Structure 1
Amino acid sequence: MSLPQSLQIVPAAEEVVPTMTRIIDEEDFVRKQILQTVIPTNATFQNVILPLAEVQNKTQGERSMLDMLQYGSPSLASQNAFDQARRLDLEAEMLRITDRSFFKLLQTAKQNSGGLDIESEHLIDKELLKYTHAGYGILTDKEMEQYQLLKAKIADLERAFQQNVAREAGGVHFTIDELTGVPGDQLSRWKDSCSTNEAIHNQHQKWKLVPFANGGTQAVLTYAHSPDTRKKMYLEDNRKLGENKSIFEEIVKVRTQKAHLLKYETHADFRIETRMAKSVEWVNDFLEGLREPLCRYGRDEIAVLQKRREKDTDAQVGKAFPPWDKFYYERLVKEEFHIDQQLFSEYFPLQETANRMLGIFSSFFDLRFDLIPADNVPSDCVWHDTVRIFSVWDIKNDNQFVGYIYFDLLWRENKYRGNQCVNIQCGYLKPDETRQYPATILMCSFPASTPERCTLLQHHQVVTLFHELGHGIHDLLARTKYVRFHGYRLPPDFGEMPSTLLENWCWMEDVLEKLSCHYTTLDTKYLTQWQTQHPLAGEPDPAQKVPRDLVKNLIKHRYFGKGLYYLRQLVISIFDLQIHSIRPDHVFGNLDIQKVWYDLREDIEGMDFSECRDGFSFATFTHLTAGYDVCYYSYLCCTAMAQDIFSSRFESDPHNKDTWDKYRRDILQYGGSQIDLLGMLEAFLGRPPNMNALVEGLLRVKRDG
């Protein structure tokens, strides 16, 4: 079987630094040639920007494969080698950005290059903004050196923060009795252990070490009957990664210094220039517009949870609602709605569900996904033996090759703990007018399978998988000239919109039915085990498809819990904006990030966090140290835009081919190449976007009951 485009090689640990050195040399050679052959008065797009873009196009794939190692490589040696390579790259970029002569060429090229297409014009502006953000026209040479040092310091701090999260391996010891209620398939994932302090008094009691990672905390908070167990798990999880507190505070402090050096009042003012929103005031107004209606909606949900909690004899009636009881009572309330997430999950085995999702996207966009047999994949083209690769083809356009998508779905040691899409090859137009096709990874961290059962997904996990796969499809369908704008390489406050829009299809009966199959149909051993666990005489084998009544009830109560979910996003968004809006004269000594975080959680989420204030949950998620600083609002912003698009264009006919074709042509194929993203969306909608659509949708559901 011949492949339409060579798969990328995954470098061994000892190859990482030499590969980065070669990439740096190749890019520097092109820059040197430009400086030697172009005089400022003759600088144009063709002789300055285009050669730079072409070498960036050429080297991007290898760069991205090196970047992938920090997230996906099971080898600490490779991850450490990436750290070295990254430092070399930062040093090289620091030298480039301090080259004033190249900045002058860029300025003249901008002036001398009229009549360019929008993407090329956008490319010049982005390159110039990079130099402006490095201090040109603002800083002296000495100040620019100081600025670059601050930038490098931030990068090192961010990497340390992320490594601490990725390598966190803590947990809590519980007796089996304390874990009563937790499903057996969850218990089987956790190691047998004993708590050294208490085992002396409980020598015959069996113990489990419940990890914070790999779904451990979530399982205990959702299923453990004992409120003391839930509380202990929550508070211990809340206290993990205390070492990241000082790192994060230092990051905020240095970001503030860096922005002030560039004459911005705050880091928020600095970062917003690269966002769709363009002003901190716009973001503040948007978030404050959500605050009051979402808080009301969330308080109503807490009242429902509290009422259910008061039915339990060990619940303390009249007390404020504690955060460690949220998932448990949400589950119980949903069970009263006849929503059984455990039963639901039996119909959504991870690998099969992911495969069937490809079928859904095939129907939307007329694509074909072909699994490349493992025997046809060279061993040096994958980083772990669980990775699968699909080639993608465009049925509607004469079965043209589209690109590759990799599935790396399971948790493992030293892997990134979240769920994301990772590009390892952008598409672009080569100098000979042929196209380099993209390759992207669906990289998740779902709990690993056990001998007794494969990994099963609850509905919220199905939504997460669909969302991240949506990013991958966006990556595959983009058609840009330059890697700078490929796929979802656009401001996150727009880039999250396409995948958020797609989540709506995870609440449709026909889609969930197509995605479902009972896990026992995958392997006879699973069926045998299921029959052993259900020994009643005459009990039928499980249905092959998810029960319709379960799906109907799930959809009917779709918005229960959404208020608290959005309030959590609102907390992080306001926290992000507040800590990055501190001015330099306030940031040193007057900023108590821990207090800001828990004050916001208590005020907005409406639960009792009084026993949690010694924790560090703000220092456990990597978004604000991985490019989403002054950007977490993107999730709410994109949800509003997605809701607007869905209700006005898709809701009445969600499978309409013409609508999907227009969406692909007018939104996805542009990637990030358009200068005015809100204008692009307005052209698709035929009117300005409605940024109140999120709240209006929730209130409509509440009004209609």
Structure 2
Amino acid sequence: MASAKYKKPPQPPPLFTHTPDSLLKDTVRIINQSKALQDRIVKDVSPEHAEFQSVLQPFAQDDDRMSLETHIIGFYQAVSTDAKLRDASTEAEKKMDDFGIEASMREDIFKLVDSVFKKQQDDQKLDPESRRLLEKDHKGYIRMGLGIPAGPKRDRFKEIKKRLSELSITFQKNLNEEQGGMWFAPRELEGVPSDVTGDLKKGDEGTEHAGQLWLTFKYPDLFPVQKYCKNAETRRKVLVANENKCNQNIALFKEALVLRDEAARLLGYPNHATFRIEDKMAKTPKTVDDFLGDLRERLAPGGLKEIEKLKELKKTETGDADKYFLWDHRFYDTLMLERDFQLDQQKIAEYFPLQTSIDGMLKIFEELFGLAFVKLEAEDRNKISETGKGDDMLWHPDVQVFSVWDDEGEGSGFVGYLYLDLHPRDGKYGHAANFNLQPGFITENGTRRYPATALVCNFSKPTPKKPSLLKHDEVVTLFHELGHGIHDLVSRTIYSRFHGTATVRDFVEAPSQMLENWCWTPSQIKALSQHWSHLSPEYSQAWRESAGPDEKQPEASMPDDLIQSIVKTQHVNDALFNLRQLHFGIFDMMVHEPSTHEAIEELDASVKFNQLRHEISKLDGPEAMGEGYAWGNGQATFGHLIGGYDAGYYGYLSSQVYSTDMFYSVFKKDPMNAKEGRRYRHTVLEKGGSQDEMETLKQFLGREPSTEAFYKELGISS
């Protein structure tokens, strides 16, 4: 990859040496410093003399400084193996959120901001990003209740905001700490790959679970069972149990819905969705509802056709296809890909060892965006760590860290730090996500502060005889999250407030979704692939021991016929996949735009979640067996709707409109066009949220975005 000359970054990496005590002490110190600044500005600056430079700018610079510590303080709850440190992180985040709510509801500060806003509406001296900061901050105070007259209603609003913060933190903590699972006899897991069952915990001899295997609800266990287990009853049990794994979140979710609706009505909005969408690209719930409704209407016929084909396959297997169940879908979808499209997922995974896939992806980003990634080994880390101990830069021994640079064509400057935390462990965040650890911004003395960003995923661990191998959908997931990481790294904004992925929620997924297309491009699949038996002499020997005596060692790169089997399945059962996304999006909108407050108080969210899934996805759940709709509580496992995507999950689908438009218009003919890659980097990724996202899109596309490519890609264009 990059040469050694890139290896001395101008800025040391962050440290992960906190203890539970230090975490809380740091939190109190940060809060006290920020509060002192607020008090000082209120004391020293009158509304008559308030200017951007005396009010907004010092507050923004304080936010910049705080973010260098607060993001990491809150990050521990997602990744630390120390339960006490996770608890301290959770407590610290609650303290920071409470302080943030108090600060954003200070009337004395709002008077200063309001004065600056009124004075500088027509002031051309402010640069565009500072003007955007002023407008967003001014609106933010109003949205935090300062448009409500002081008194009981405003006090109630503050109380609601604090409780909502608490609910969100507790909900996600419950998901992170979830330790559930089920015991199964090996015969009940027939069809599940041996590299999965071989890693499962075994019941102790002499106990009731002797000879049984413990299956957790973590992705590396859950998905292979849903895809490969031949026993339908096992698949049913696992699906139902997984939907009930965090039932302590049911009440938290319902309380959040009721409080969000009450808060929106206190502000004068008819519902929470109207409040949330006002500042997004869609602007109104009607725009969102029309988009989702139109998409549902277009996709429904295709979904029914796909189910009929899958039912035929089920009938050939079982002789009975009266129903097509939720726990059938991943299994028969996988079987169809194998039988009708010769897609052998296990064989494909052999060509995607995790580490070489990462190296290949970083190489793509190097060529496309003019970057260079340098993996920092122990010796390198020792040299640049502020403590002289390289391990102080990591929160867990599994973590990899890279220094990231511009290549020579881009000026050879430092870009930031990229961390990869890729395997599951107890107490860790259970999905795949990108976390900003430290944002980039321009410091008070005009120098650049460089970002640090982390990918947190849950791919299977390597064993002594086999590396961690990725299914193709996991390759897509990794590339997607790396896309967020690159967005975070290459952003160039004045303020941390707008850095990287800090865009509106119905745009933030678009850059990463666009990059997923590289995972379906034959030349890039070939470039990413390397058969695991070619990684080392030890792995070569291990492969030889597991293969038949006459079996020839596979080619180093994935053969073309296997690549074609991937490419031609990109849109197989696509309608059903998108109907699943529509179920989430429509449920999200429905629970956030009730007709009355009483309607949301009376709502049974579990019944509504399952009923909508049945109606939209067309798949049968236990309700089709006479069990009613109260059999599971999927919303209680759905972190998105409590963690920032409330009245915003539609963004995954609307962002796809933008991402498909960008790819088709600019990259489809030549995905590795370095000139366009750099233009994309500078026009879209660098901007972060520092300007209106629609303006960013128009600048890149040279026109208004269009839905044409999106509908064409789905095969449902009118």
For the aligned pair, the TM-score class normalised by the smaller chain equals over 0.9
Distance 1:588 1:597, change over 3 A: closer
Alignment partner of 1:334 is 2:341: no
Q: Deviations over 1:129-148 (max 9, x none)?
A: 22101211223233222211
Q: Identify the residue that residue 683 of structure 1 maps to in structure 2.
A: 699
For 1:480, the aligned partner's letter is T
- Whole-Å separation in 1 of the counterparts to 2:156 and 2:597: 19
Q: Identify the residue that residue 358 of structure 1 maps to in structure 2.
A: 362
User: Which one of 438, 443, 459 corresponds to residue 446 of structure 1?
Assistant: 459
- Whole-Å separation in 1 of the counterparts to 2:171 and 2:104: 26
For 2:13, the aligned partner's letter is L
User: Which one of 9, 12, 16 corresponds to residue 6 of structure 1?
Assistant: 12
- Whole-Å separation in 2 of the counterparts to 1:658 and 1:95: 47
Alignment partner of 1:279 is 2:284: yes
1:584 Cα deviation (Å)?
4.7
Write the mapping of 1:161-180 to structure 2, written as runs, cut at 5 A.
Answer: 161-180=171-190
User: Which one of 174, 189, 192 corresponds to residue 182 of structure 1?
Assistant: 192
Q: Kindly indicate whether the alpha-carbon contact (under 8 Å) linking 2:354 and 2:468 is maintained by their aligned counterparts in 1.
A: yes
Write the mapping of 1:78-227 to structure 2, written as runs, cut at 5 A.
Answer: 78-113=85-120, 114-115=123-124, 116-193=126-203, 206-227=211-232
- Whole-Å separation in 2 of the counterparts to 1:684 and 1:397: 19
- Whole-Å separation in 1 of the counterparts to 2:510 and 2:526: 25
Q: Kindly indicate whether the alpha-carbon contact (under 8 Å) linking 2:354 and 2:470 is maintained by their aligned counterparts in 1.
A: yes
Ranges in structure 2 where 5+ consecutive residues have no aligned partner: 1-6, 382-389
Of 341-350 and 514-523, more deviation after overlay is shown by 514-523
Q: Identify the residue that residue 586 of structure 2 maps to in structure 1.
A: 574
Q: Identify the residue that residue 604 of structure 2 maps to in structure 1.
A: 592
User: Which one of 476, 486, 491 corresponds to residue 463 of structure 1?
Assistant: 476
Distance 1:604 1:35, change over 3 A: same
Secondary structure of the residue aligned to 2:403 is strand
Secondary structure of the residue aligned to 1:134 is helix
Secondary structure of the residue aligned to 2:246 is coil
Alignment partner of 1:485 is 2:509: no
1:408 Cα deviation (Å)?
0.9
Q: Identify the residue that residue 385 of structure 1 maps to in structure 2.
A: 397
User: Which one of 323, 343, 360 corresponds to residue 326 of structure 2?
Assistant: 323
Q: Identify the residue that residue 623 of structure 1 maps to in structure 2.
A: 640
Q: Identify the residue that residue 4 of structure 2 maps to in structure 1.
A: none
1:82 Cα deviation (Å)?
1.3
Alignment partner of 1:40 is 2:47: yes
Q: Kindly indicate whether the alpha-carbon contact (under 8 Å) linking 1:188 and 1:450 is maintained by their aligned counterparts in 2.
A: no
1:679 Cα deviation (Å)?
2.7
For 1:548, the aligned partner's letter is D
- Whole-Å separation in 1 of the counterparts to 2:713 and 2:219: 34
Q: Kindly indicate whether the alpha-carbon contact (under 8 Å) linking 1:173 and 1:195 is maintained by their aligned counterparts in 2.
A: no
Could you list the structure 1 runs, at least 4 aligned residues long, displaced by more than 4 angstroms after superposition: 194-199
For 2:566, the aligned partner's letter is L
- Whole-Å separation in 2 of the counterparts to 1:33 and 1:172: 57
What is the alpha-carbon root mean square deviation over aligned residues?
1.9
Q: Kindly indicate whether the alpha-carbon contact (under 8 Å) linking 1:478 and 1:670 is maintained by their aligned counterparts in 2.
A: yes
- Whole-Å separation in 2 of the counterparts to 1:339 and 1:321: 22
Q: Kindly indicate whether the alpha-carbon contact (under 8 Å) linking 2:75 and 2:89 is maintained by their aligned counterparts in 1.
A: no
- Whole-Å separation in 2 of the counterparts to 1:331 and 1:131: 50
Write the mapping of 1:263-662 to structure 2, written as runs, cut at 5 A.
Answer: 263-312=268-317, 314-317=318-321, 319-336=322-339, 337-377=341-381, 378-395=390-407, 396-536=409-549, 538-587=550-599, 589-609=601-621, 610=623, 611=625, 613=629, 614-662=631-679
Q: Kindly indicate whether the alpha-carbon contact (under 8 Å) linking 2:432 and 2:481 is maintained by their aligned counterparts in 1.
A: yes
Q: Kindly indicate whether the alpha-carbon contact (under 8 Å) linking 1:479 and 1:486 is maintained by their aligned counterparts in 2.
A: yes
1:657 Cα deviation (Å)?
2.2
- Whole-Å separation in 1 of the counterparts to 2:68 and 2:309: 51
- Whole-Å separation in 1 of the counterparts to 2:102 and 2:551: 72
Q: Kindly indicate whether the alpha-carbon contact (under 8 Å) linking 2:46 and 2:112 is maintained by their aligned counterparts in 1.
A: yes
User: Which one of 684, 690, 694 corresponds to residue 667 of structure 1?
Assistant: 684
Q: Deviations over 1:142-183 (max 9, x none)?
A: 322221111111111122211111111111211111211111
Secondary structure of the residue aligned to 2:507 is helix
For 1:664, the aligned partner's letter is R
- Whole-Å separation in 1 of the counterparts to 2:117 and 2:636: 42
Q: Deviations over 1:417-466 (max 9, x none)?
A: 01011111111111222100111011112122333322111111000000
Secondary structure of the residue aligned to 1:670 is coil
- Whole-Å separation in 1 of the counterparts to 2:467 and 2:256: 40
What is the identity percentage for the equivalent residue pairs of Structure 1 and Structure 2? 35
Q: Kindly indicate whether the alpha-carbon contact (under 8 Å) linking 2:580 and 2:617 is maintained by their aligned counterparts in 1.
A: yes
Secondary structure of the residue aligned to 1:499 is helix
Q: Deviations over 1:447-504 (max 9, x none)?
A: 2233332211111100000000000101111100000000010112011100000011
For 1:162, the aligned partner's letter is Q
User: Which one of 57, 61, 69 corresponds to residue 62 of structure 1?
Assistant: 69
Q: Deviations over 1:267-313 (max 9, x none)?
A: 1111112322111111111111101111122222212211111111x
For 2:198, the aligned partner's letter is S
Q: Deviations over 1:313-340 (max 9, x none)?
A: x3423x1211111111111111121110
Q: Kindly indicate whether the alpha-carbon contact (under 8 Å) linking 1:518 and 1:545 is maintained by their aligned counterparts in 2.
A: yes
- Whole-Å separation in 2 of the counterparts to 1:622 and 1:119: 32
Q: Kindly indicate whether the alpha-carbon contact (under 8 Å) linking 1:497 and 1:641 is maintained by their aligned counterparts in 2.
A: yes
Q: Count residues with an aligned counterpart.
A: 693
Secondary structure of the residue aligned to 2:402 is strand
Q: Kindly indicate whether the alpha-carbon contact (under 8 Å) linking 1:134 and 1:144 is maintained by their aligned counterparts in 2.
A: no
For 1:320, the aligned partner's letter is K
Of 16-25 and 587-596, more deviation after overlay is shown by 587-596
Alignment partner of 1:245 is 2:229: no
Q: Kindly indicate whether the alpha-carbon contact (under 8 Å) linking 2:262 and 2:597 is maintained by their aligned counterparts in 1.
A: no
Secondary structure of the residue aligned to 1:215 is helix
For 2:520, the aligned partner's letter is W
- Whole-Å separation in 2 of the counterparts to 1:585 and 1:408: 43
Q: Kindly indicate whether the alpha-carbon contact (under 8 Å) linking 2:298 and 2:716 is maintained by their aligned counterparts in 1.
A: no
- Whole-Å separation in 1 of the counterparts to 2:678 and 2:189: 50
Q: Deviations over 1:526-567 (max 9, x none)?
A: 32222222123x321222111210111211121002211111
Q: Kindly indicate whether the alpha-carbon contact (under 8 Å) linking 1:98 and 1:144 is maintained by their aligned counterparts in 2.
A: no
Q: Deviations over 1:21-58 (max 9, x none)?
A: 11112212221221122111111111110111111112
- Whole-Å separation in 1 of the counterparts to 2:486 and 2:13: 18
Secondary structure of the residue aligned to 2:146 is coil
- Whole-Å separation in 2 of the counterparts to 1:491 and 1:196: 56
Q: Kindly indicate whether the alpha-carbon contact (under 8 Å) linking 1:498 and 1:642 is maintained by their aligned counterparts in 2.
A: yes
1:668 Cα deviation (Å)?
1.0
Q: Kindly indicate whether the alpha-carbon contact (under 8 Å) linking 1:361 and 1:367 is maintained by their aligned counterparts in 2.
A: yes
1:16 Cα deviation (Å)?
0.5
Of 127-136 and 497-506, more deviation after overlay is shown by 127-136
1:651 Cα deviation (Å)?
1.1
1:626 Cα deviation (Å)?
0.7
For 2:711, the aligned partner's letter is V
For 2:667, the aligned partner's letter is F
Q: Deviations over 1:46-100 (max 9, x none)?
A: 1110111111112211111112112111211111111221232233223323321
